[in-house]
């Protein structure tokens, strides 16, 4: 593996970790809105073409989450 490939692989891993971290945050915020969470665990996550975090759950359902910053804090402004 040459240096360019190594840096590209590191950037991919960093991007995937960022998306997964955002997805976990979104899932936890979404769960807080329900007394009984029925979606199950996260099985996949990605960003759509608009930069929204998307999470697919055990239930087979998937949700879009719009993240915003409130000062220095990350917040979920909406999901659909």
Confidence of residue 12 (pLDDT cuts 50, 70, 90): confident
Q: What is the pLDDT of residues 25-71, one digit of tens each?
A: 999 999 999 999 999 999 999 999 999 999 999 999 999 999 999 99
Angle, CA of 47, 50 and 55, to the nearest 5°: 30
Q: Where are the domains of the chain?
A: 3-79
Confidence of residue 18 (pLDDT cuts 50, 70, 90): very high
Which tokens go with 56? 């697919």
Q: Measuring CA to CA, which residue among 77, 71, 30 is closest to residue 45?
A: 30
Q: Looking up tokens 């979404």, which residue turns up?
A: 30
Average pLDDT over residues 14-33: 96
Confidence of residue 6 (pLDDT cuts 50, 70, 90): very low
User: What are the phi and psi torsion angles at 28 (to 5°)?
Assistant: -65, -40
């Amino acid at each position: 593996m040459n240096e360019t490939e190594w840096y590209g692989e590191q950037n991919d891993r960093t991007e995937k970790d960022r998306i997964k971290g955002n997805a976990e945050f979104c899932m936890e915020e979404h769960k807080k809105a329900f007394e009984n969470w029925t979606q199950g665990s996260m099985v996949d996550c990605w960003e759509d073409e608009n930069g929204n975090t998307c999470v697919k759950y055990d239930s087979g359902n998937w949700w879009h989450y719009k993240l915003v910053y409130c000062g220095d804090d990350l917040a979920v402004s909406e999901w659909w």
